[in-house]
Chains A and B, each alone.
Chain A
Amino acid sequence: MSDQDSKKIGIEQDRTKLIEALFKNYYNPLCNFVYRRVGNLTDAEDIVQEIFCSLWLNYNLDLTASSIVNWLFVATKNKTIDFLRKKKLNNSLLLNFSSDLLEIEEFEMDIMKERIIESLDLLPDKCKKVFRMAKMEGLSYIEIAHKEDISIKTVEGHITKAFKIIRNALKP
């Protein structure tokens, strides 16, 4: 294999790794952003997958990670508007787009939610179960205490512990 061939393979591997990392962090947040506008998860996933394909095929190694994230967000937003126009859905769905700043805040919130979910794997089993019941299934502490046959104080203790671990995991 020539030097040029191995260099080419090296660049291709770097590109795959970087895109995989971007995918891991931003795929779900972007799907959620689109889902709230198109109203179904299958269409949302199709749109975001197309954006990642396009990034992969046109990606330029000179770009910084933050400019790629910015590109991902803007490209996804534009693709969603195109999708809604093509589907000729009523204008009320197009009105779901607010100011750029509010949208970026909304996207950051989706990223935060995704990072919380990713960090749940760091929690002890029982703590993770109680946190999921409280925050993802929306059960009250009383309901959890009843279901798990533990005291409300213990539920509170699990949630406090969970937040401590999540906060540490999310530290910049």
Chain B
Amino acid sequence: MNINDLLSRYLNESTDDKDARLITEWSNESNENLMELQRIKQLKLASDKLKEHKLTDKDAAWDSIQRKVKYNQHVKKRWYIAAALGLVILLSLGGYLISSKSQSESKADMLYVNDSETNVKNIRLEDGTHLTLSPQSSVEVLGDRHVFMSGKVFFDVEKSLFKKFKVDFANGAVVVLGTSFQIFASENDFEIAVASGMIQYDGFGKRIVLAKGESLIMTEGDLVKADHVNESSYGWRSGNLVYRASPLMKVLKDLEKHYGINISIENELFDKIDNCKLTTEFNNLSIHQVMDELSGLFSLKYKVVQKNINITNIKC
């Protein structure tokens, strides 16, 4: 009998004692045969355990990896440009102000960073699209009507029937023809809100269409679509953060996104903060000025370490 047929039957567990003896004899003929039998035994073992093997959505996973890498490269590039600009400013003190400044602008023309701690930054792209960047946000132009963003950005996209406008961020992409919307995106979370028209979100192997007034939020790996986006959600574009009897917890979340910082609260304060409501307006204030104002209103105590604020006491 052909040895290949015999081995296939062995894999299929349809061999008898005589077949088993023939296989052993064949494997003893050479080292190569022995190795082949070893391989076949492994194949049999693996095929018997296939039921336990978990399958994943590899396309979605590959997509997610590419976006996270892009996000990291984008953040790294921001640091290099910030360092380069720092160097240029230092050199300009020696009398090279004009020439150095024009150099720095040409280097940074594809990456827009809002390094301000208080003010929003407005940008008009070549196609006429208007962007508003909150403090500590950035937008990198990847091509014609194609950008990558991180932080919080409002997009007023110039309409084009022939070319879609695409926004990539760490956890997905948004495609539109012409409309206005805002995206907050960090490495792990994002929030999209549509101010006019319709947009299409692609990510995690899903395609979701959002219309005016709808939003899509991702926190801790879950995607939630919601409606009733408040007009005041877009108020920050003029530099004013307006709150009317807003829950303090929601305000703190909003400040995190607006200023690109992390705010944490001691565990035992969670119950207390649930009752706190805030009515105020912050007009072009830095996060330090905002925290000072909150300290006055809520006897709030906090510690600041770089971009992290830890709230240690609060009274409403």
Interface residues of A (CB under 8 A from B): 20, 23-24, 27-28, 31-32, 35, 41-42, 44-46, 49-50, 52-53, 56-57, 108-110, 112-114, 116-117, 135-138, 156, 159-161, 163-164, 166-167, 170
Kindly list chain B residues whose C-beta atoms are within 8 Å of the C-beta of A27: 56, 58, 61-62
One of B38-46, B133-141, B308-316 contacting the partner: B38-46
Kindly list chain B residues whose C-beta atoms are within 8 Å of the C-beta of A138: 51
5 contacts between A and B (CB under 8 A): A52-B65, A53-B68, A135-B51, A160-B11, A160-B12
Interface residue B299 (Cβ < 8 Å from any Cβ of A): no
Interface string of B69-109 (1 = CB under 8 A from A): 10011000000000000000000000000000000000000
Establish whether residues A116 and B58, one from each chain, have CB atoms under 8 Å apart when the complex forms.
no
Establish whether residues B47 and A116, one from each chain, have CB atoms under 8 Å apart when the complex forms.
yes
**Nearest chain-A residue to B60 (Cβ)?**
A45
Known: A53-B69, A117-B50. 17 other contacts (CB 8 A): A20-B62, A24-B58, A28-B56, A28-B58, A31-B56, A50-B68, A53-B72, A57-B72, A113-B47, A113-B50, A156-B12, A160-B5, A160-B9, A164-B8, A167-B8, A167-B11, A167-B43
Measured between C-beta atoms, what is the minimum distance from B63 to chain A in Å?
10
Kindly list chain A residues whose C-beta atoms are within 8 Å of the C-beta of B48: 135
Kindly list chain B residues whose C-beta atoms are within 8 Å of the C-beta of A46: 221
Interface residue B262 (Cβ < 8 Å from any Cβ of A): no
Q: How many residues of B contact A (CB 8 A)?
A: 33
Establish whether residues B42 and A109, one from each chain, have CB atoms under 8 Å apart when the complex forms.
yes
Interface residue B64 (Cβ < 8 Å from any Cβ of A): yes
Establish whether residues A49 and B65, one from each chain, have CB atoms under 8 Å apart when the complex forms.
yes
Measured between alpha carbons, how far is A122 from B45 in the docked complex, in Å? Answer: 21
Interface residue B49 (Cβ < 8 Å from any Cβ of A): yes
Kindly list chain A residues whose C-beta atoms are within 8 Å of the C-beta of B62: 20, 23, 27
Interface positions, chain B 209-263, Cβ under 8 Å from A, are: 221
Measured between alpha carbons, how far is A163 from B69 in the docked complex, in Å? Answer: 39
Measured between alpha carbons, how far is A160 from B8 in the docked complex, in Å? Answer: 5
**Nearest chain-B residue to A139 (Cβ)?**
B51
Measured between C-beta atoms, what is the minimum distance from A142 to chain B in Å?
14
Establish whether residues A137 and B46, one from each chain, have CB atoms under 8 Å apart when the complex forms.
no
Q: Could you say which of A41, A116, A163 has the most chain B C-beta atoms within 10 Å of its C-beta?
A: A163
Closest 3 CB pairs of A and B: A112-B46, A163-B11, A135-B50
Kindly list chain A residues whose C-beta atoms are within 8 Å of the C-beta of B9: 160
Kindly list chain B residues whose C-beta atoms are within 8 Å of the C-beta of A44: 54
- Is the contact region of chain A dominated by helix, strand, or loop, or is it mixed? helix
**Nearest chain-B residue to A48 (Cβ)?**
B61
Kindly list chain A residues whose C-beta atoms are within 8 Å of the C-beta of B73: 57
Establish whether residues A32 and B14, one from each chain, have CB atoms under 8 Å apart when the complex forms.
no
Measured between alpha carbons, how far is A50 from B69 in the docked complex, in Å? Answer: 9
**Nearest chain-B residue to A16 (Cβ)?**
B66
Interface positions, chain B 1-26, Cβ under 8 Å from A, are: 4-5, 7-9, 11-12, 14
Measured between alpha carbons, how far is A93 from B308 in the docked complex, in Å? Answer: 33
Establish whether residues B55 and A113, one from each chain, have CB atoms under 8 Å apart when the complex forms.
no
**Nearest chain-B residue to A161 (Cβ)?**
B8
Measured between alpha carbons, how far is A45 from B51 in the docked complex, in Å? Answer: 19
Kindly list chain B residues whose C-beta atoms are within 8 Å of the C-beta of A32: 53-54
A109 in contact with B65 given A27-B56, A166-B43, A167-B7 (CB within 8 Å): no
Kindly list chain A residues whose C-beta atoms are within 8 Å of the C-beta of B12: 156, 159-160, 163
Kindly list chain B residues whose C-beta atoms are within 8 Å of the C-beta of A42: 221
Measured between C-beta atoms, what is the minimum distance from A21 to chain B in Å?
11
Kindly list chain B residues whose C-beta atoms are within 8 Å of the C-beta of A135: 47-48, 50-51
Which residue of A20, A52, A117, A166 contacts B53 across the interface (Cβ within 8 Å)? A117
Establish whether residues B68 and A49, one from each chain, have CB atoms under 8 Å apart when the complex forms.
yes
Kindly list chain B residues whose C-beta atoms are within 8 Å of the C-beta of A160: 5, 8-9, 11-12, 14
A113 in contact with B53 given A160-B8, A167-B8, A170-B43 (CB within 8 Å): yes
Kindly list chain A residues whose C-beta atoms are within 8 Å of the C-beta of B39: 170
Kindly list chain A residues whose C-beta atoms are within 8 Å of the C-beta of B14: 156, 160
Q: Could you say which of B14, B58, B65, B221 has the most chain A C-beta atoms within 10 Å of its C-beta?
A: B65
Measured between alpha carbons, how far is A163 from B4 in the docked complex, in Å? Answer: 10
Establish whether residues B46 and A109, one from each chain, have CB atoms under 8 Å apart when the complex forms.
yes
Measured between C-beta atoms, what is the minimum distance from B147 to chain A in Å?
19
Measured between alpha carbons, how far is A159 from B8 in the docked complex, in Å? Answer: 9
Establish whether residues B51 and A116, one from each chain, have CB atoms under 8 Å apart when the complex forms.
no
Q: Could you say which of B12, B14, B58 has the most chain A C-beta atoms within 10 Å of its C-beta?
A: B12
Measured between alpha carbons, how far is A42 from B56 in the docked complex, in Å? Answer: 10
Establish whether residues A113 and B46, one from each chain, have CB atoms under 8 Å apart when the complex forms.
yes
